[in-house]
Each structure stands twice: as C-alpha cells, then as structure tokens.
Chains A and B, each alone.
Chain A
Amino acid sequence: MQQAPFPIISVEGDAYEIGYQYGSQCKKLIEEAIGVYRKLFKTVIGLEWETALSSSRKFTPSIEEYDPAGMEEMRGVAKGSGQAFDNILALNLRYELVWLKGAGGLGECTALAVTPEASSPKRMLMAENWDLQCAVKKLPVLLKQKRKNGPNVIQLAEAGVIGRHGFNSAGVCVVANAMVSDGWQVGVPMQIILHKILNQESLVDAMGAVLAAKRASSGNYLIGYTGSEGSDAVDIEASPGSYNVLWPDNGILAHANHFSVANPEIKDLFPPMDPGSLHREHRATTLLAKERGNIDVDAIKKILRNHFDKKRAWSICSHADPKCDEVLEWMTIASYIFDLQAKTMHIAKGPPCENEYVALTFEDIF
C-alpha cells in the first residue's frame, strides 16, 4: 500500500476504548487542534476559547440522549490525550460555534455521488473536496476503527473530532456539506450526527439518524449504501426544524452549500456569503451528467480538479490566497473518492490539481 497522505490512527474496542486510544495516539495533534481553533474562533468571530467552552456545555444533554456512545468516545479521547473534556467537546462543536456567528465562508465543500447505473465499472462512488480554513490542513487524521459494538469505520476527521466523512464495513458511506439557515438551536451537533450515521448498517437507519435527531444546526448529509440487493445514495438537506430529501437524478448527484429545494420553512443564509456554492454545484452536476454511464474514479478526480472559477477559493478545487491569514483563507485541505464495492478510498492532501491521489484499501477490517 502507498503511503497515506494523513496519519493513520488504528483503534479497537468499545466506545471508550477507541476514544482513549485515539486520544493517546494523537496527543500532540489534538493539542495543536485546540491551538488552531482557539486562534480561529478569536480571529474569525471574536469568540474567546473560554466562552466557546461554556457554550459547548449546553449541548451535552442533547448529545447524551441522542448518542451516548459518542459521549463515551469523547470522554475516552479527553482522557487519552490528557485534555479537559470540555476542550474535546468544543472541537466536536466547532461547526456550530463558527457558523452560528455567521463566519462568512470563502469556500466550503463540494460532494458527489454516482450510483452503479451511471458508472463504469458499475460502482457506487462517493466523493468530496473538503474545504476549510488553511490552518486546519495539518490536523486531519485517517481514523481506522475496529469497533466492538457495530461496523468497523474508516473516516477522515480533524484530530479530536469523532465524526466526519467516511465509510463502514456494513456498506454505509457519508460525506457532508455546511449549510447555513436560520433557526439554529441547542441540540445535537452535526459531527455527532455524522458519528451516528457511520454506526448504521442500512440506508434507512442512516437516514433515521439524521431525521430523528433534534438537530442543532443545518447541514447537508449525502449518504451512500451498497448491499447485496443493490446500491443507492440519498441527500438530506437538513435544517434544525425541517429537511429536504433528494435522490440521484439518473444516477448522479452533486451538492454544495445551499439548499437546492425551495422550502418555506428554511431561510438559506449561505449564497449571499458565498455565491460560489451555486455554481460549484451546477458545475459539478453538469460535468457528471456529461459522463453519465461512463463515470469512473478518474472522471471524478477530474471534476474535483475543476477551476471553473479560476484557481481560487470559489472553484470546486479550492485554492487559498497565499497573502492572507491561514485562519481566514480557505482551501481544499483533502480530496477523496470512496468506491463502496471495492472498499477503496482514493485520497489526496490539499488541492487535487497539484496533489496525486493515493488508493487505500482496508481488507483487514472491511
């Protein structure tokens, strides 16, 4: 196997154990993550770290009720990394804490799904450019979790975070996008919902993890599934109080950071901050549609390298302005494609136009 572009953290056991091992193996990186977010909160939204901690604590009862295993895992991470629990909680709430204040995005993610009817060979493919502030680029780890109670999971997350983009041994895959609407509240944070999705063993159960949650924030959940009876993908555009469900259009689906379905209960606040979302999604859909029926991993790599809006933050392949501060400027920090049948993840660190993908398989735990 080629060298992975991010550290691989292998953990095994029950929720607390996998958290503890994660924490102790990532001690330095978690400390660095706290430093990055301390600076990011302060610079971007003027939020003091201590205030972030006290805000985070309000979310614990909702998390405890929704996903007690997630709480256990975070407790393990805290213990293993020698950090106060609140610091780990705040990392897992960074999405809500940043966007609640309307951070004013300069980029954000683009996600794709291709079902077997549109791919060649016939595969369920899921992909994403994960775009974030440049300073976050050094934090992600590839978490390889051999779980005692549930499917085994491979995911990419910032050190200390327990739920992000990944796939599991039961055939469930999730990638996600930021969405910003009105109505955010204290409830279950997006990372915890992602954590629970990756514990599910069917498409329906994964959908249930989103729909039944008392959601704190808005977010887009693009979920794929492959099983013995076939494959499918579904996209849930969720706000705290409402949601839209989108299915692939003749086998293809692309999503960025705005609500694609008009819903009178949701006020979409994203496009005025980042109109790039509108055309990234449109561009990605158009490029996928052009190749419909013949889409393979290389075709998706090409789409993820697209610079329709020039080589800067608002393209699918997102580049930072090197003159700007690393906590203010956005870029593609990682790009990846999941092949659900081949149980393979193709992953590049940084903008994929200038970084090669590495193919990683996980036969040992899948």
Chain B
Amino acid sequence: MNKQLPFPIISVAGDAYQRGYQYGSQCKKLIAEAVNTYHKIFNAKPNMSWQKALRLAAKFTSAIEEYDPLAMDEMRGIAEGAEQAFAHILALNTRYEFLFLAAAEEFKECTTLAAMPEATSSRHLLMAENWDLPSTIQKLAIILKEKQKDGPDIVQITEAGVISKHGFNSAGICILGNALVSDGWHFGVPKQIIVRRILNQESLADAIKVVLAAKRASSGNYMIGYTGDDGSDVVDIEAAPDYYNIIWPDNGILAHANHFSVANPNIKDLFPPLDPGSLSREHRAFRLLAKARGNVDINTLKNILSDHFDKKGPSSICCHVDPHLDESLQWLTIASLVIDLDGKTMDIAKGPPCENKYVARTFEDIM
C-alpha cells in the first residue's frame, strides 16, 4: 500500500471555482505542456489546427453554460490558477471532439470491463479500463481528488487542465468511457462535460439522465456503475449526438470497446473501418470475462487488460506503440485501472499493464 501512485496527485477542495483555481495553480507547468502538446497534435492534422480548435471551442460555451454552469466555473478557475487564456482550457476540455472530428487516419482506443457481484468471487462490483491514447499524452495524466462543497467527493484520472475522465465518487458512482465515432456530430455539450456531471451524481438513474438529457456534441460510450445500500448495477450507454443504445450486463459481465454493439438504423458507425481492432478487443474481453464468470476477481481483470491476442501491438487490449508509425500516430495504453466499487479501491498502472505493476489504494487513502 505504500508504493507511490504512478501519476501526480492533485488535491482540491471547495466550490467549483475554488477547486478549478487550485487545480490550475498546482498544475501550471503540466497545463502549459498540455497546451503545447495539443497545439502540436492539432497542427499536424490536415483539417485541424490549434487556432481552429480555439475558434471552434468557443462555439460550445453556450451549450455548456446551459447544461453545467459549475463546469464553466471550474474551467474559469483553472484558467485563472494556471494563468492560461480561458480559450486554452476550453480547447483542452473539447479535445475529444476535435481529435475525432479530424481523424482520418487509423486510431486505437480504450477497452472497458465490468463484472457484477453475481459474477465476481468477492461479490463486489468491479470495473476496469485500459485508457489508450497517443503516447505523447501519457506525460499529461494526473490523479485528481476533489472534496466538493456541494456534492460527493471524487477520485479520477484525467489529463492536466481537463475536468473529467475516468473515476468514481463517494456516493458509489463510477464512470468509464470509450470513444465512439458516428455521423451527426454538432455543436452541443462535449463528452468531457457530460462525464464531469456524471461524477456529481448520487444514483444510477441520475447518472443515466445526465447522458440522455444532454444535447450531445459527439458520440461516446458511457459505462456507469453504481453501488449502494440496495445493491449494485452497471449500465452502458452507446450515445450518438441524437440517438443512443442501452446495454445491461449479460449475466453479470460487460465489455465495451469503440464500436456501436447494437445495430441502430439512426447511427452510422464510422469506427470499425478505421480500427477493426475494436471488434476483436471487445469480443476477446467478453469471452475472457465469460470464461471466469462467477469467479472474476481483480487479478482476472488485470490479466484481461494484459491480453495480446493481436500480438504485442496497438490492436490488442494491452496496447503497445507501433514504432514504425509517426510519433503522433503511436497509440499506447497510457494507464490501466481496476476499480472495486464495494471495496472502494482503485488499482492503477502507468503504461501497458503487461510490463507495469499496479498500485492499489483505497478511496479514503487517496482522499
């Protein structure tokens, strides 16, 4: 338990603006680096540039302000604390929309897992994810712990300057996500803002509502778990801007990658032709979970997250860079995490888990 967590820990407390300000001032250097990194990433894309991202990001503000004014306050606080223009912080928080809107080349992406108490040996709800991104982003990752004045405490892993990603809260809510790419993207509420609002919820139904009621800008997969006095459950929402599919665990297990698993005539899935690996990652993860059904434990999930069915390359669950590609196209598992919602613990590894040890922490320890 005393091994150091593999990412910097940022602790903040207070109302939205205060937390943002503390986040910004503690992460000043890393946020400047994040701005530089995305500046480079966007400028390298044929249809995108940092200047264009700043311009486009501004068009999301009214939708965000209406949907989640606290998120706006938090981002304003970050900008102030980090001494960055607000537009820069906004662009970091809408980078998902720009990264995939501009994506014409191949990309890889995350794999998420859930095992319900009925499928685990400890009868705990377990959720896990390999967070896969271009390798240059790994240095930006931080663990953010938030004591909120008006809401549950939160532990999450995210990129410096970004207000949400994967995490869980003191009310028993956990959110993991995957990129999904479909047609129909428009100005609206960015994915990161929706995820942030999920982390403020205290029940599964409220968390579901936050996704369904949003005027979504983009597509994305939201895997939401909840543990409370009356039991546990997990739901997966495959959301496109204007439509969605709901998936519940199959006899206690669920796996998701980056394609729409439910055929929906209103959604044109653009991901598999760019990365057919999503299809095999999800299938492989589900099959490995099914094999262990009833006896799934934290180690089972770590083993699945270390799987290399498609070789030790970028298309496996455990994602390694393809050194033949240009650096901007080198995808990598930048972090791997297993969350036990009933045990309130998080196991986290930096980099591909086949070659990096997980460090375990309880929610209280981190807080």
Interface residues of B in 239-294 (CB under 8 A from A): 263, 265, 272-274, 276-277, 279-280, 283-284, 287
User: Given the known A-B contacts A232-B284, A234-B283, are A227 and B263 also in contact in the complex, defined by CB atoms under 8 Å?
Assistant: no
Once the chains are docked, how many angstroms separate the CA of A203 from the CA of B284? Answer: 12
Once the chains are docked, how many angstroms separate the CA of A244 from the CA of B303? Answer: 29
In addition to A204-B310, A207-B280, A208-B276, 10 A-B residue pairs with Cβ atoms within 8 Å of each other are A202-B310, A202-B315, A203-B280, A203-B309, A204-B277, A205-B276, A205-B315, A232-B283, A234-B279, A234-B280
> A211–B273 contact, CB under 8 A?
yes
> B307–A263 contact, CB under 8 A?
no
User: Given the known A-B contacts A227-B311, A229-B308, A232-B309, are A204 and B280 also in contact in the complex, defined by CB atoms under 8 Å?
Assistant: yes
Across the interface, which residues of A come within 8 angstroms of B310, CB to CB? 202-204
Across the interface, which residues of A come within 8 angstroms of B279, CB to CB? 207, 234, 245
Once the chains are docked, how many angstroms separate the CA of A197 from the CA of B274? Answer: 16
- Binary B-proximity of A205-243 (CB < 8 A = 1, otherwise 0): 101100110000000000000010110101000000001
> A232–B263 contact, CB under 8 A?
no
Once the chains are docked, how many angstroms separate the CA of A265 from the CA of B267? Answer: 11
Across the interface, which residues of B come within 8 angstroms of A208, CB to CB? 273, 276
> A204–B315 contact, CB under 8 A?
yes
Q: Quick check: is A247 within 8 A (CB to CB) of the other chain?
A: yes
Once the chains are docked, how many angstroms separate the CA of A211 from the CA of B277? Answer: 11
Interface residues of B toward A: which range? 10 to 19
Q: Quick check: is A261 within 8 A (CB to CB) of the other chain?
A: yes
> B276–A263 contact, CB under 8 A?
no
> B263–A261 contact, CB under 8 A?
yes
> B263–A263 contact, CB under 8 A?
yes
A304 → chain B closest CB, angstroms: 27
Q: Which of A212, A230, A232, A234 contacts B273 (CB 8 A)?
A: A212
> A229–B307 contact, CB under 8 A?
yes
Q: Which 3 A-B pairs have the closest CB atoms?
A: A207-B276, A204-B315, A264-B265
A193 → chain B closest CB, angstroms: 13
A267 → chain B closest CB, angstroms: 13
A213 → chain B closest CB, angstroms: 9
- Binary A-proximity of B226-241 (CB < 8 A = 1, otherwise 0): 0000000000000000
A-B contact pairs, 16 of them (CB 8 A): A202-B313, A203-B280, A204-B276, A204-B315, A205-B276, A207-B272, A207-B276, A211-B272, A211-B276, A229-B307, A229-B311, A232-B287, A234-B279, A245-B279, A261-B263, A262-B263
A154 → chain B closest CB, angstroms: 22
Closest to A265 in B: B265
B117 → chain A closest CB, angstroms: 25
B353 → chain A closest CB, angstroms: 15
Once the chains are docked, how many angstroms separate the CA of A144 from the CA of B288? Answer: 36
Chain B residues proximal to chain A, CB less than 8 Å: 263, 265, 272-274, 276-277, 279-280, 283-284, 287, 307-311, 313, 315
- Binary B-proximity of A236-270 (CB < 8 A = 1, otherwise 0): 00000001110100000000000001111100000
Main secondary structure of the interface of A (DSSP, over half): mixed
Once the chains are docked, how many angstroms separate the CA of A261 from the CA of B273? Answer: 19
User: Given the known A-B contacts A204-B276, A204-B315, A208-B276, are A229 and B283 also in contact in the complex, defined by CB atoms under 8 Å?
Assistant: no
Q: Which of B265, B274, B309, B315 contacts A227 (CB 8 A)?
A: B309
Once the chains are docked, how many angstroms separate the CA of A30 from the CA of B252? Answer: 57
Once the chains are docked, how many angstroms separate the CA of A244 from the CA of B261? Answer: 10
Interface size, chain A (Cβ < 8 Å): 22
Across the interface, which residues of A come within 8 angstroms of B272, CB to CB? 207, 211, 243, 245
Across the interface, which residues of A come within 8 angstroms of B287, CB to CB? 232
> A247–B263 contact, CB under 8 A?
no
User: Given the known A-B contacts A202-B310, A202-B311, A211-B272, are A232 and B265 also in contact in the complex, defined by CB atoms under 8 Å?
Assistant: no
Across the interface, which residues of A come within 8 angstroms of B277, CB to CB? 204
Once the chains are docked, how many angstroms separate the CA of A203 from the CA of B263? Answer: 22
Interface residues of A in 264-286 (CB under 8 A from B): 264-265
Once the chains are docked, how many angstroms separate the CA of A264 from the CA of B265? Answer: 6
Across the interface, which residues of A come within 8 angstroms of B263, CB to CB? 244, 261-264
Closest to A209 in B: B276
Once the chains are docked, how many angstroms separate the CA of A243 from the CA of B280? Answer: 15
Across the interface, which residues of B come within 8 angstroms of A202, CB to CB? 310-311, 313, 315
A168 → chain B closest CB, angstroms: 15
User: Given the known A-B contacts A202-B311, A227-B311, A232-B309, are A247 and B283 also in contact in the complex, defined by CB atoms under 8 Å?
Assistant: yes
B300 → chain A closest CB, angstroms: 16
Across the interface, which residues of B come within 8 angstroms of A263, CB to CB? 263
Once the chains are docked, how many angstroms separate the CA of A243 from the CA of B270? Answer: 12
Across the interface, which residues of B come within 8 angstroms of A229, CB to CB? 307-309, 311
A222 → chain B closest CB, angstroms: 14
> A232–B280 contact, CB under 8 A?
yes
Across the interface, which residues of A come within 8 angstroms of B280, CB to CB? 203-204, 207, 232, 234
Once the chains are docked, how many angstroms separate the CA of A203 from the CA of B278? Answer: 12
Kindly name the residue among A202, A204, A230 whose own CB sees the greatest number of chain B CB atoms within 10 A.
A204
Across the interface, which residues of B come within 8 angstroms of A243, CB to CB? 272
Once the chains are docked, how many angstroms separate the CA of A245 from the CA of B261? Answer: 10
A24 → chain B closest CB, angstroms: 36
Across the interface, which residues of B come within 8 angstroms of A232, CB to CB? 280, 283-284, 287, 309
Once the chains are docked, how many angstroms separate the CA of A261 from the CA of B272? Answer: 17
Across the interface, which residues of B come within 8 angstroms of A245, CB to CB? 272, 279
A173 → chain B closest CB, angstroms: 15
A360 → chain B closest CB, angstroms: 28
Across the interface, which residues of A come within 8 angstroms of B308, CB to CB? 229
A199 → chain B closest CB, angstroms: 15
Closest to B288 in A: A230
Once the chains are docked, how many angstroms separate the CA of A227 from the CA of B287? Answer: 17
Across the interface, which residues of A come within 8 angstroms of B274, CB to CB? 212
Kindly name the residue among B265, B283, B284, B310 whose own CB sees the greatest number of chain A CB atoms within 10 A.
B310
Across the interface, which residues of A come within 8 angstroms of B307, CB to CB? 229
User: Given the known A-B contacts A203-B280, A211-B272, are A230 and B265 also in contact in the complex, defined by CB atoms under 8 Å?
Assistant: no
A77 → chain B closest CB, angstroms: 29
Once the chains are docked, how many angstroms separate the CA of A208 from the CA of B313? Answer: 15
Once the chains are docked, how many angstroms separate the CA of A202 from the CA of B283? Answer: 15
Closest to B263 in A: A263
